[in-house]
Structure 1
């Protein structure tokens, strides 16, 4: 039987309602009848774990919550239009900048990027009481909130009743919290799908919604996956009425913390100022003409003049040895008493055992012998003094991150103003802070994929490029920013600012590199959210009658536009290597041998044979084991015979998956 061309728009992806139903049908076939779930049967299968409808449960709830959750399960209906003219290094870059509503964009990305993202960093709009741009046309107004909450009667009349004189204020505040939560909830649900099992999400927030956001992420990611509540302390505000509110938070969650634990994951960051200390010590070593005694004295004097700039974890390393290496003498006592650690350690000059702690030595006798041979055990003048372990500063370069850190925000604003030639954005995040935390939670992975769907000025993309410039990595980013209008002479929208900031940052990073430095990806592909390339049927009889005779695609769309929509519907990474050849008057696309696409029109039987032969020949140039999909334009054939002939030729050549758009 000849293969059929299934429309790509009929496909379902992970997290969408249809896919969720398919999963349930596989697990509990008796509970899914004629494409609907019998909740009573499902409850029987779940047993006591299934709560009754009337059960009270702990957790965050608000009017409109169910509708917000439903939004996350809807399939995307739009597409992304490629904009090479807005991009940098379109053909080679693997970074993406997407303009459009981030909920629809996330739904579009879900098929191709589920379980692909290493780190999600977002700095969502803080709830200042203003109307949200991200309202999805479905979040509640104050009046709607009051109706759902029972504060208005059927006629819409506000029923205040008895209460304090702040009752109206509380209702207004509840409405604002509701709108904000309904905006965040579906986006976090879709984002959860995109993260790898080893992935981590970081969400910046202020005091206004911190408590509710914490409960919301507990619900989406699971309270057991909470990692930390980071406090970013800025500069104090002396004009505050009560307390200087000069901090923000970063809530950090793993997608699967038990999995990280099983892998033995440890997050470590480079000690602050360690490079400065090592650099100063190196200069003292040179200035002292390689005299360890003089160099040590110079280092101790320098530390004493720093007036508390460094913690004891650095100032304890105040000696320089005969090789010019900075070290400290660390204790050798065992934290707990053990019999095998109670041995004598003779002094190298007197031969008499040195003093030993009651708990014994930290190393076994065999390991201690190895440390002695390496010159890592320090002795005093005689056996009456203690022995120490020689610990080098260069070996202690990493430390556990603290949950509170101080970083003035003014420097980030000044750096962005300098880069952009003037002030264009209020309160940008600090590139260095984001670089440090993204690298930490990505476990120093040099090929991590980072997503930010509240991109703002583009700090996350800038941070990713900085990380790559620092270690030659190949990390990549996906940024999503709404085209929110701004009152700036040079820029129409915030998304325009995002793209320009990334262009300038990329140029700055490229210009600062040395000739022998590895190539860093400082480009990005720009896309804009738009309606589907496929015309939506309006249900009229006229359109139904003519459907087979007219083009089903929107006017003005190119074959490149169609290809991107096919990639999104098929779940193909947008940066998949692409080749293109001209065949029978139109482009034949090859996406890494896994997907071929041809959107030509007026395809006769003869042209269909020509395209099929070209397609088979191209596939056979580099045959792979994976199934290959072929996608064509649904109305591209002149008649049914041409379409059937094309399908038969592909089936005979071994193609098993045919799609149409």
Structure 2
């Protein structure tokens, strides 16, 4: 800044990009502009030029293979529309607020996924969701409103006009369409949050399996399909069908299949028992393995077709018809010399390779049929153990099932996301798995505060329980209570484990920053209200965490606090963000406040640029604001914003 430039603080308004969730559409356009700058004219895409640049890769046929339904275009647009909402912190409902890295977010998962884009894009290793099965019952995810935040608050009874949406009965002509319109934008947003080596697991039944697989192939790419797991969920089939299905599916897609590395399953005692050491070999226990090459079509390779001579009997053994050995003549000779080829118990059998336990991979590859995890009755039994009533939740997934998915798809320090949290099984399973392998995995759970109605027979038990514990009658209250109780139980059973058993609660709401909404019948009051940029009913913590969210910082990022001139200043991420939200800053306080911030910034010495944020209405006058900005900018703190 030169001596002729005036120090300024740029106001942060509701229309600024920093006040909104990530603009995915704008990001996509910027990527296109970087790749194909010549396809842009006066800021607009020239599709004819773009088509020429892409050559033969552009599909121009009117009829093409794919999954299409009414509303797909609007559903895609929903995923691209930024959210103007925020997440408000609720320390009083949290567990270990100051230390935990886990998140329990209460809100419409479409809006929450938008709000998480800046802070968690490319950071999630595993997503597991158990979305509403399309069974003809209602599900409450209406996304066809102009103001989705307002609609969400109304839907959940937080503002006047609480109501329940019922739109997906089997009689509806849009039965599959409604479900696809609900899932599509959520999956589009979820993909952005995955790491390059991340995976998503989705529980589903026969009702929407085919549509879900096609939908995921479009969102993630058909080449990123990993597996369709069959989970045996019942010991016997139900007798109300012609053929009773006793299984469900878990569909798995990767962000980038080339980058994915899944874990192996721990060997069972029976599998380990197969390895023995009858000849006291120096390498320890072994099991016989095939020496034949696994070549499709029995392709003959002359160099791999030779006799193996039994050193004890002199008998020659050749590979089977049109087959080959797995190894070269030289390697076989080395194996023979090291006593690593087995000729049967009597010493006269066909040659086998000794596969030593010390040399095989740590576990075994997971199969696609899962009959080794708990049945769905275990989920209900677990609810009984935690709440004293197995019918608190309808058909909760068993902990053992999700725990196996976590072990398969997420290394010990990864982030796990579940945006249909329901009964909270994912959080419970993650804590249990961390204890087993000493992991430090984090969870992010999202659940709609769907209201429970005592007049509904299926919801009466849940609603009554909320009354017993003095909580609002919503599903998310039971989710939080399950997490609290499960954490206490696991902690009591493993008192020496130092893991994270807490969670921070955040709730979806409208932004803390006022928008210009004129009341034409009372413009004078509207003008008075617009003087303050921030809503009067919001706390300093509300504003602070919206800043973290909108600037792309982790909601559990380390925060330090110091006081200068009687004003609290927060340092986020080692000085990347400095925030002072004091409500009054007098001219006399400007100098000590600014100098204190400068000294602390120098001490922190952050690697990148620092953003400083103040409450706009706190300054006594423009002179105080200008003076503070001048001091900060003279010492290298150039980026200064006000709210």
What is the TM-score of this pair, normalised by structure 2?
Answer: 0.82
Match of 1:329?
A: 288
Tell me the SS of whatever aligns to 1:120: strand
Match of 1:528?
A: 507
**How many Å apart are 1:454 and its aligned residue?**
0.2
Tell me the SS of whatever aligns to 2:208: helix
Q: Distance in 2 between matches of 1:624 and 1:577?
A: 14
Q: Distance in 1 between matches of 2:554 and 2:444?
A: 11
**How many Å apart are 1:49 and its aligned residue?**
4.7
1:120 aligns with 2:106: no
**How many Å apart are 1:429 and its aligned residue?**
1.0
Quote the RMSD (CA, aligned, Å).
3.2
Tell me the SS of whatever aligns to 1:635: helix
Q: Distance in 1 between matches of 2:481 and 2:83?
A: 28
Q: Distance in 1 between matches of 2:169 and 2:579?
A: 56
Give the one of 516, 536, 539 matched to 2:518: 539
Aligned residues: 583
Q: Distance in 2 between matches of 1:651 and 1:228?
A: 55
Distance 1:391 1:132, change over 3 A: same
CA contact (8 A) 1:96 1:525 kept: yes
Tell me the SS of whatever aligns to 1:103: helix
Q: CA-to-partner distance for each residue in 1:225-257, whole Å, 9 max, x for gaps?
A: 222222222223342231102222112111122
CA contact (8 A) 1:344 1:353 kept: no
CA contact (8 A) 1:602 1:637 kept: yes
**How many Å apart are 1:190 and its aligned residue?**
1.0
Q: Distance in 2 between matches of 1:660 and 1:106?
A: 26
Q: Distance in 2 between matches of 1:360 and 1:28?
A: 52
Distance 1:24 1:86, change over 3 A: same
Q: Distance in 2 between matches of 1:59 and 1:343?
A: 52
Q: CA-to-partner distance for each residue in 1:417-443, whole Å, 9 max, x for gaps?
A: 21222221111112222122233233x
Match of 1:464?
A: 430
CA contact (8 A) 1:609 1:646 kept: yes
Match of 1:243?
A: 243
Gap regions ≥5 residues in structure 1: 140-168, 282-315
Match of 2:572?
A: 591
Q: Which residues in structure 2 correspond to 1:215-614 (within 5 Å)?
A: 215-235=214-234, 236-257=236-257, 259-260=258-259, 267-270=262-265, 274-275=268-269, 278=272, 317=275, 322=280, 327-335=286-294, 352=314, 355-357=317-319, 362-364=326-328, 367-368=331-332, 371=335, 376-378=340-342, 384-393=348-357, 395=360, 398-406=363-371, 407-423=374-390, 424-442=392-410, 445-486=411-452, 487=460, 488-491=463-466, 492-513=473-494, 515=496, 517=497, 519-540=498-519, 541-542=523-524, 545-546=527-528, 550-592=531-573, 593-614=575-596
Q: Distance in 1 between matches of 2:169 and 2:277?
A: 62
1:5 aligns with 2:2: no
Distance 1:381 1:647, change over 3 A: closer
Match of 2:114?
A: 107
Match of 1:312?
A: none
Distance 1:360 1:172, change over 3 A: closer
CA contact (8 A) 1:8 1:659 kept: no
Distance 1:633 1:389, change over 3 A: same
**How many Å apart are 1:266 and its aligned residue?**
5.2
Distance 1:396 1:645, change over 3 A: closer
Q: Distance in 2 between matches of 1:21 and 1:638?
A: 42
Q: Distance in 2 between matches of 1:137 and 1:251?
A: 27
Q: Distance in 1 between matches of 2:261 and 2:566?
A: 56
Q: Which moved more, 1:376-385 or 1:65-74?
A: 376-385
Give the one of 56, 59, 63 matched to 1:56: 63
Q: Distance in 2 between matches of 1:388 and 1:24?
A: 57
CA contact (8 A) 1:269 1:436 kept: no
